């Protein structure tokens, strides 16, 4: 059952992506830094809340290599740590330095299953600059994962010996044993030992022991899986037939990242290195997409409404010569208002005026919609429905081989791209995503039933959903034959008091993220835009908006829970 206790991870495992904020007041208290909430927050969304394991690693590195008055953050490569250094230096006069640390390579065949040679970059900065470093961590999405932090901590600071093949096999057998469950109620050993043992069982249930030597194969499987789904309707792509190039999307055009935000950050970084200039953010996006466009590079033109009138204005500005842009970034559909942009018209403008188009299709997901023909790059957060289990952060970026920017982008990625997706995270993601298509089908069907229920409630003034949106015709133009309308729904009550009552009463998981295998709700504007509630109203996002991400619960059970809360 969904926990109603502040700060409990969702799901309640060591590497969970979401965290419980069970009431409207708790969400406000979190945003305002009130102790009755913050004192209970032992976990959180990884880009916003630095995992305890990573904090411990940073503390040990600081104690060993740091200087007086410094703090540090650990990144998955030296190049990323240098990017963080440059970000801080542009905004502060403090002295910033970078250190590279490496772990040992496996020596024996047996060690290859549990050991991998890797390097991290450590950015040291004055304590007063921590907010800037944390800002880079959040916006870029390039921080290390909690699993990587756990591994680096063990390799650098914990004395250990090599694991033999027989010991590894014994560990696999033990991890499948139901007796580990019973250890929870055992009186032997400390509570910490019991909890650690149980967490190990959960993370390795059904024999899902992570064998690190298969990480490369897992990543290839992920790229092929993404490639197949993105290109599901390739025979319908008119541009391919016209070109007669015979060049279709391949797995080499799919790049993996440590978060969805990192894929957007890298797309922007690549374009700045090829054709520097301002970008357009079309439509009201997820908060850090706009932060990336604002804080890295020369700036952004924000067309927050993302409607036909905004597109007409953009076209006039481009025609008049008063506006020249590097790229246009948009979501399809947008989060949280579920608007679908006119991608066909955007592509026409891109072709005519020579700017790149980057589409984030996380909310729609690449099984439901086909955006590649209208984009030069397609970004996606694999943390969401592709994974579903809410226990791993990852992202992907797909290059369109038919794009006029493709040759330059491909050369850039061939020389500059770093594979920063931690091997254990890749292994988890590959396993999580095997039933991606089946889950999407089920979530799509349930979501339409939920929309029907919510639309019939007289206390609700508006239901935001791609199928019921005024922009549905644009969604239908890009919807795959077997696709649906996704699992994200936003609602607005006539009375703000009713919104609070409903949210507090509804028996669902409540916290950040979306696309989880369990239904997840949050007061979105409060959680994502608390410091700018008046500003976002201008773009049609009400401060009392509630967002619900539909999961895999039985229809009858989920509808009943919602109905009880509405009543």
Angle at 114 between CA 110 and CA 116, to 5 degrees: 105
- Which domains does the chain possess? 58-102+117-157 (3.30.70), 165-207 (no CATH), 214-434 (3.40.640.10), 437-566 (3.90.1150.10)
Closest to 422 (Cα-Cα) out of 9, 74, 29: 74
pTM, to two decimals: 0.89
pLDDT at 80: 97
For the stretch 425-470, pLDDT in tens is 999 999 999 999 999 999 999 999 999 999 999 999 999 999 999 9
Average pLDDT, the chain: 89
Distance (Å, whole) CA 520 – CA 547: 8
Residues 380 and 349: beta-carbon distance below 8 Å: no
Which pLDDT score is estimated for 230? 64
pLDDT of residue 160: 53
Give the mean pLDDT of 121-135: 97
* % of the chain residues with pLDDT over 70: 88
The tokens for 221 are: 């499987």
pLDDT at 43: 86
Least confident among 97-101, 178-182, 548-552: 178-182
Q: How confident is the model at residue 161 (pLDDT cuts 50, 70, 90)?
A: very low
Q: What are phi and psi of 359, to 5 degrees?
A: -115, 125
Which tens digit of pLDDT belongs to each residue from 219-264? 999 999 998 866 544 444 444 333 332 347 889 999 999 999 999 9
- Geometric angle at alpha carbon 263, from 435 and 369, rounded to 5°: 50
209 falls in which pLDDT band (50, 70, 90)? low
Contact between residue 484 and residue 448 where contact means Cβ atoms under 8 Å apart: yes
Q: What is the pLDDT of residue 211?
A: 87
Give CA torsion, residues 168, 171, 175, 181, to 10 deg.
Answer: -170
| Separation between Cα atoms, residue 74 and residue 146, nearest integer Å | 11
In the structure encoding, which two tokens stand for residue 340, read together? 């679908």
pLDDT tier at 419, thresholds 50, 70, 90:
very high
Provide the pLDDT for residue 525. 96
Task: Report the alpha-carbon distance of residue 12 to residue 9 in Å, rounded.
Answer: 5
- Confidence label for 1 from pLDDT (cuts 50, 70 and 90): confident
Q: Is the pLDDT confidence value at 352 over 60?
A: yes
> Using CA atoms, how far apart are residues 327 and 357, in angstroms rounded to an integer?
6
Mean of the pLDDT values across residues 135-156?
96
Q: Cα separation of 273 and 366, whole Å?
A: 28
Q: Checking DSSP bridges between strand 356-360 and strand 327-331, what pairing results, if any?
A: parallel
Q: How far apart are CA 195 and CA 200, in angstroms?
A: 9
């Amino acid at each position: 059952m969904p926990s109603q206790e502040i700060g409990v991870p969702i799901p309640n495992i060591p590497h969970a992506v979401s965290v419980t904020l069970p009431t409207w007041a708790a969400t406000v208290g979190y945003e305002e830094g009130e102790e009755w909430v913050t004192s209970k927050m032992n976990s959180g969304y990884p880009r916003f809340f630095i995992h305890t394991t990573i904090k411990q690693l940073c503390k040990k590195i600081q104690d060993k290599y740091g200087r007086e008055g410094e703090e540090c953050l650990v990144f998955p490569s030296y190049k990323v740590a240098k990017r963080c250094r440059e970000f801080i230096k542009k905004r502060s006069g403090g002295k910033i330095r970078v250190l590279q640390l490496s772990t040992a390579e496996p020596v024996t065949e047996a060690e290859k299953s549990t050991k991998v040679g890797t390097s991290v970059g450590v950015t040291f900065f004055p304590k007063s600059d921590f907010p800037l470093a944390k800002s880079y961590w959040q916006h870029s999405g390039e921080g290390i994962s909690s699993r990587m932090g756990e591994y680096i901590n063990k390799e650098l600071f914990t004395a250990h010996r090599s694991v033999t093949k027989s010991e590894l096999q014994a560990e696999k057998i033990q991890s499948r044993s139901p007796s580990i469950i019973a250890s929870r109620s055992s009186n032997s050993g400390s509570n910490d030992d019991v909890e650690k043992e149980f967490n190990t069982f959960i993370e390795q249930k059904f024999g899902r022991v992570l064998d690190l030597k298969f990480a490369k194969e897992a990543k290839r499987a992920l790229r092929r899986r993404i490639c197949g789904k993105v290109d599901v309707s390739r025979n319908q792509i008119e541009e391919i037939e016209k070109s007669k190039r015979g060049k279709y999307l391949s797995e080499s055009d799919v790049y993996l990242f440590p978060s969805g935000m990192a894929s957007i950050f890298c797309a922007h970084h690549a374009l700045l290195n090829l054709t520097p200039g301002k970008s357009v953010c079309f439509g009201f996006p997820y908060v850090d997409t706009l932060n990336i466009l604002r804080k890295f590079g020369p700036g952004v033109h924000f067309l927050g409404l993302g409607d036909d009138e905004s597109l007409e204005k953009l076209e006039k500005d481009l025609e008049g010569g008063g506006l020249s842009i590097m790229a246009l970034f948009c979501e399809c559909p947008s989060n949280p208002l579920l608007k679908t942009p006119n991608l066909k018209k955007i592509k026409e403008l891109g072709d005519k005026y020579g700017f790149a188009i980057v589409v984030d299709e996380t909310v729609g997901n690449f099984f439901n919609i086909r955006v590649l023909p209208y984009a030069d790059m397609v970004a996606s957060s694999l943390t969401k429905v592709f994974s579903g289990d809410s226990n791993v952060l990852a992202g992907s970026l797909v290059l369109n081989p038919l794009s006029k920017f493709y040759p330059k982008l491909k050369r850039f990625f061939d020389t500059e791209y770093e594979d920063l997706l931690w091997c254990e995270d890749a292994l988890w993601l590959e396993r999580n995503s095997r039933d991606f298509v089946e889950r999407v089908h089920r979530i799509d069907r349930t979501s339409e039933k939920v929309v029907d229920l919510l639309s019939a409630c007289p206390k609700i003034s508006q239901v935001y959903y791609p199928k019921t949106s005024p922009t549905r015709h644009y969604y239908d133009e890009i919807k795959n034959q077997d696709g649906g309308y996704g699992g994200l729904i936003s609602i607005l009550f006539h009375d703000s008091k009713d919104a609070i009552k409903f949210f507090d009463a509804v028996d669902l998981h409540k916290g950040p993220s979306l696309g989880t295998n369990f239904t997840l709700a949050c007061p979105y504007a409060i959680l994502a835009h608390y410091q700018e509630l008046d500003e976002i109203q201008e773009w049609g996002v009400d401060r009392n908006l509630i967002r619900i991400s539909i999961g895999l619960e039985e229809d009858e059970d989920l509808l009943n829970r919602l109905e009880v809360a509405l009543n």
